[in-house]
Amino acid sequence: MNFKKLNFKVLFCIADKIPSVFDSLRTSVPPILETLMDYMERNWIQGRFWTPVHWSCFNLLLRTNNDCEGLHNDWNKLAGGPNLPFYKMTLVLEQLCQDVKLSQKLLSHEKFKAHRKKETQLKNSILFALWTRYQDNELSTVELLEEIVL
């Protein structure tokens, strides 16, 4: 496998396949990255706290390594930027509390839908189609990773 092409796509694999894909990638890693690969294997592949089961994005619509980042970005947009004075932050938090109440009501009446950009919707539909083909054994793991366009 081509390390440069596939290294960041591993997270789209099914969790139980990730260790073998990682091992395959190790065979083509440049020597300068060997220390990084050792670290990744110790902490993310064979780790005690974070294993592929925890970070694999296989068959997941929402893919982020930091769920708080999106919320934080929303807060900054609502507030007009970062580094808020305390009094302004309390006003923003009050607005967020009201939004939670509204979201709860909408969810209970099944009126709440996530907004996604058309580009994101297209990428998601392509990705789910690839995952379906993979689960139907129409694609190998390597073919799946080669087909994914980030």
Predicted TM-score (pTM) of this structure: 0.63
Structure tokens at 85: 């004075």
- In this prediction, residues 101-125 reach a mean pLDDT of 75
Taking the alpha carbons at both ends of the chain, their separation in whole angstroms is 17
List, for residues 44-97, the tens digit of each pLDDT value: 999 988 899 988 989 887 655 455 676 677 778 878 887 778 888 888 888 888
Comparing C-alpha atoms, which of 65, 20, 115, 16 is closest to residue 6?
20
| Confidence (pLDDT) at 4 | 63
List, for residues 23-39, the tens digit of each pLDDT value: 988 888 888 989 989 99
Q: What are the boundaries of each domain within the chain?
A: 3-58+118-147, 67-108
Residue 132: CB atoms within 10 Å = 12
